[in-house]
A and B are shown apart, each in its own frame.
Chain A
Amino acid sequence: MGAPIGVLALQGDVREHRRSLERIGREVVEVKTPADLQRVAGIVLPGGESTAISLLLNSSGLTEPLTNAIAGGLPTFGTCAGLVLLARSILDGRPDQVQLKGLDVVVRRNGYGRQLASFEGHVAGHGPLDGAALPAVFIRAPIIESVGADVEVLGTIDHAGIETPTLVRHGSVLASSFHPELTSDDRIHHLFCDMVEAATK
C-alpha cells in the first residue's frame, strides 16, 4: 500500500482522480496546503483551469514547496491543466501563470480547440503501456507541440495526420493532455503508482 498519494484539490476534477486511485487500492489525501503536501509520496495535478489553479497555488503558499518537491523527485502526474502547469514552456497562456517546471515540453493551451472540438478517442500506448489502445477523453485539451531529448513519449494520437504526443514522462514527472480519470481504464494510474513505489524504495 505505502504512503498516501496526494491530489491537488484547489479546483478541478479531484474526485475522478481520487476514484481511479482508490480503485487500485491507494490511499488518497487532498492537498490544499503545504502541510498536506508533506504527507504524500506522490502528487496528482488534476484537470481544471490552469489560470485559476495558478492563482490558488500562489495564495495557498503551495507554489514554492511544490516546485521544490518536484525538483527533488516527488513523483508527479499532471492531466490537462496539470500538464500545462508542469510544462517548461506554455503557448497561449497568461504571463502570470505558475510554472512548476519539471517537464521539458512545449504545450499550447486549448491546442485541440474549444469545447465543440472536445472528443473521446483512443491513445496508442508505447513502452510500458504497449498493448491495447488507451481510452481517452480530451476536454479543451492542451496540445504537446514539442518534447525535449530526455522526455519519453508513452502515448500518441493521430492529429491531423501527425503522430502527436499525448502522454509523456520525464524522470519522475508523468503528464497527459487527456483525462484517463474520466475513463474506467486505470493503466496510467497504475503506471504512476509504480513510479511512486519505485521512488519510495
Chain B
Amino acid sequence: MTEHTRSTATFTVKRGLADMLRGGVIMDVVNAEQARIAEDAGAVSVMALERVPSDIRRDGGVARMSDPQLIEEIQAAVSIPVMAKARIGHFAEAQILQSLGVDYIDESEVLTPADEANHIDKWSFDVPFVCGATNLGEALRRIAEGAALIRSKGEAGTGNIVEAVRHLRSINAAIREITQADASELFTIAKNHQAPVNLIQEIAETGKLPVPLFCAGGISTPADAALVLQLGAEAVFVGSGIFKSSNPQLFARAIVEATTHYQDAAVVAKVSRGLGAAMAGLETATLESRYAERGW
C-alpha cells in the first residue's frame, strides 16, 4: 500500500467543517443541559459562552471566555461540534480553547474586546476561527487574518434582526459591485474597503466570499431564519433567541425546520404556529452599547 502523509489544520480542513454546517443552526448554550436541548432539537453545533448576549447586555461588566470546566461538560454532553467564544485579540483565551479541543473558536464582539487595535493572528492556530463582520472590508480583513468562516454581526442580544439584514445586504451588495468592475478598478475598490487586493480579485473571479457566510445577531423567530437564508446566509447562529424564549425546545426545533425549508413559506408558517412568546426584543436605536462597532 502506498504511504501518504496526512495534513491537519489546512485551510481546506478548517473551512471544510463550516461547509458541513451549512443549512444548519448553531445555538448558544451556557451549560451542558442547554447543549443537550440544542442537540435534541437538531442543532448542527453549539456555541459555549459564559452568558447569552441579552444577559451580558442586562448585567454589564466584562464578558469573557467560558469556564473551561463548563466547556468540557458541554463537550461530554453532546456529539455535535462544540464552538466557544474568545474575546477580540485575546489570543491566550484562544490558546486555552484550542487546548480544550473545541471545534471552532468565535473571536466575538459579544465579549468585551481585549485589544482595541488588533485581532488574533488566526493563522497561528490549528483550530479554525469564525469572526463577525458588518461589511465586506471587515469580512476580508478577518479572512486575511485566517478566519475560515464569516458571520454577520447583527446586534446580539436584541432579538432584532434589522442589523443582521443590514450587514448581509451590505456584504452582498459589495460583492455584486466587484463582479461588475473591470480589473483596473479592483485596486481602488480594495483601498476603499481597506481589504487585501488579492481577496478582492478572487471575489471578482468567483462572485462569492472566499469562505462560507453565516448569519448571527438578532435571530429570534423561524421567519427571521427564513429571511436571512433568502438574503444569502448559508446557516444561522441563534443566541438569546432560543433560551430567552417562552419555550426553548419548540423555538429551537422550529428555527431548525425554517432554516432547512426557508424557501417553503407553508412549512415556515406551520412551524411558527402556536410557538408562544419570542424573546423580548430591544430597539437598536436606543442601545447604550453597540457590539457590532467592536472590531477593527
**Chain A interface residues (CB < 8 Å from chain B):** 9-16, 32, 47-49, 51-52, 55-56, 59-60, 80-81, 92-94, 109-110, 114-122, 124, 133, 137, 139-140, 156, 158, 163, 179, 182
A184→B42 CA distance, assembly (Å): 31
Min distance, Cβ A79 to any Cβ of chain B, angstroms: 10
Min distance, Cβ B187 to any Cβ of chain A, angstroms: 30
A115 in contact with B103 (CB, 8 Å): yes
Instruction: Choose among A51, A116, A156, A163 the residue that contacts B39 (Cβ–Cβ < 8 A).
Output: A51
A179→B19 CA distance, assembly (Å): 11
B9 in contact with A121 (CB, 8 Å): no
B16 in contact with A133 (CB, 8 Å): no
Main secondary structure of the interface of B (DSSP, over half): loop
B256 in contact with A56 (CB, 8 Å): yes
Mask: chain B, 255-276; 1 = CB below 8 Å from A; 0 = not: 0110111001000000000000
A140→B102 CA distance, assembly (Å): 12
B19 in contact with A16 (CB, 8 Å): yes
Known: A115-B127, A116-B98, A140-B17. A56 touches B79 (CB 8 A): no
A140 contact set on B, CB distance < 8 A: 17, 20, 81, 103
A109→B104 CA distance, assembly (Å): 18
Residue of A nearest to B103 (CB): A115
A14→B235 CA distance, assembly (Å): 13
Is there a chain A Cβ closer than 8 Å to B193's Cβ? no
A120 in contact with B6 (CB, 8 Å): yes
Known: A12-B23, A13-B19, A49-B20. A119 touches B257 (CB 8 A): no
Q: List 21 A-B contacts (CB under 8 A).
A: A9-B23, A10-B260, A12-B20, A12-B23, A13-B20, A32-B260, A52-B24, A55-B42, A92-B79, A94-B39, A115-B101, A115-B102, A116-B126, A116-B127, A118-B17, A120-B10, A120-B13, A137-B16, A139-B17, A140-B17, A182-B12
Say which size band chain B's interface belongs to: 35 or more
A94→B12 CA distance, assembly (Å): 28
**Chain B interface residues (CB < 8 Å from chain A):** 1-10, 12-13, 16-17, 19-25, 39, 41-45, 79-81, 98, 101-104, 126-128, 253, 256-257, 259-261, 264
Residue of B nearest to A115 (CB): B103
Min distance, Cβ B1 to any Cβ of chain A, angstroms: 5
Known: A49-B44, A124-B1, A156-B1. A116 touches B9 (CB 8 A): yes
A118 in contact with B8 (CB, 8 Å): yes
A114 in contact with B43 (CB, 8 Å): no
A114→B79 CA distance, assembly (Å): 10
B101 in contact with A119 (CB, 8 Å): no
Instruction: Choose among A81, A122, A139, A182 the residue that contacts B4 (Cβ–Cβ < 8 A).
Output: A122
A16→B212 CA distance, assembly (Å): 12
A14 in contact with B103 (CB, 8 Å): no
A121→B260 CA distance, assembly (Å): 31
B3 contact set on A, CB distance < 8 A: 158
B80 in contact with A119 (CB, 8 Å): no
Known: A13-B22, A109-B79, A137-B16. A52 touches B44 (CB 8 A): yes
Instruction: Choose among B20, B43, B256 the residue that contacts A48 (Cβ–Cβ < 8 A).
Output: B20
Residue of A nearest to B16 (CB): A139
A117 in contact with B8 (CB, 8 Å): yes
B259 contact set on A, CB distance < 8 A: 11
Known: A133-B2, A137-B12. A51 touches B260 (CB 8 A): no
B6 contact set on A, CB distance < 8 A: 119-121
A76→B42 CA distance, assembly (Å): 24
